[in-house]
Amino acid sequence: TENFSQIGGNTAIAISMAVAKAAANSLQIPLYRYLGTPFSSSLPYPLGNVIGGGAHAEGATCIQEFLSIPIGAPSVLDAVFANAAVHKKVKSILSSEGIFCGKGDEGAWAPQISDERAFEIMKRATEEVSDELGFEIRFGVDVAASELWDGENYVYRDVKRSPEEQLSFITEMIEKYQLYYVEDPFHEEDFDSFAELTSSVRALICGDDLFVTNVERIRRGIELKAGNAVLIKPNQIGTLTDTFRAISLAKEHGYTCVISHRSGETTDNTIAHLAVALELPIIKTGVVGGERIAKLNELIRIEEELVNPKMATLRKG
């Protein structure tokens, strides 16, 4: 069936990936080379979850993810190290303020602090690590606004925001903190607000719940100019072929493709190969935890294999 209702999406993507890996092995070439071209040498910037809340860490921030992205890193190795340094710096800042916390299900710190405080801590951490390492590090958020939406308002811990107020709030945060990346700032059916925000700010406005890696929803977003980036989750759509179609459509219309892990993950590293094969500029795959680091380590190995590795070209934000 079209939505894999008989076998399930996880089974479909497992078979699809297994076939691709078998084909690559039979030719004795890496998966990224089999899926891409002999000239694929562009490496993605890692987008890492540093402070987590929302559905991933109950009692923490209302915004689901505060994400680090080292847009000035000269290599994948430097970029991975930078995100780890930001993660460590955030812990240091929290500890210095007497805030102790565990981690959410993606390895991000889950302190019981306000969203505003999290913004301030991320700004300080990225700026300090950027100064220490000598290249630019920015940050962004995954609002996961569908989780806050009650049908009329966006319900935060201490305030309810109407759709208009949500638009004003997100715009203000982008401008105040120079956010590079904002994912799902509105609920999954609000294409119009996505379009309005995209036209008024300089940032990557990414749809996850908005598009669900679905070609028809991506096409609708393109028509309405909703967002300028698409989150790509292969197991959400079901096969590598369908994943390629979604990426091809998005890239054809100038959208940035961000390939992503899931909150519940394994140590499979296929998305690292997909990012290189299809020259995707950003990979969202966490900072710490074995199932996250597996993807990052694979990117470092690929970087070492390439003759002329280079970091991807990012949209200016």
Return the domain boundaries, the chain.
Answer: 9-311
Backbone phi and psi for residue 43, each to the nearest 5 degrees, phi listed first: -110, 145
Q: Please, what is the Cα angle at 278 between 277 and 280, to 5 degrees?
A: 115
Please report which helix (H) or strand (E) contains residue 27, including its range. Answer: helix 9-27
The residue written with tokens 């200016």 in the block is: 316
CA distances from 134 to 92, 127, 130, 178, 299 (A): 20, 10, 6, 19, 22
Q: Amino acid identity of 135? A: F
Q: Could you say which architecture CATH assigns to the domain 9-311?
A: Alpha-Beta Barrel (3.20)
Judge whether 119 and 177 are in contact, CB under 8 Å.
Answer: yes
Interatomic CA distance for residues 310 and 317, integer angstroms: 20
pLDDT per residue as tens digits for the range 40-94? 889 999 999 999 988 656 678 999 999 999 999 999 999 999 999 999 999 999 9
Interatomic CA distance for residues 282 and 276, integer angstroms: 10
pTM of the model: 0.94
Which pLDDT value is given to residue 56?
58
pLDDT per residue as tens digits for the range 217-252? 999 999 999 999 999 998 888 889 999 999 999 999
Please report which helix (H) or strand (E) contains residue 258, including its range. Answer: strand 256-260
Catalytic annotation, residues: 106, 233
Interatomic CA distance for residues 233 and 18, integer angstroms: 17
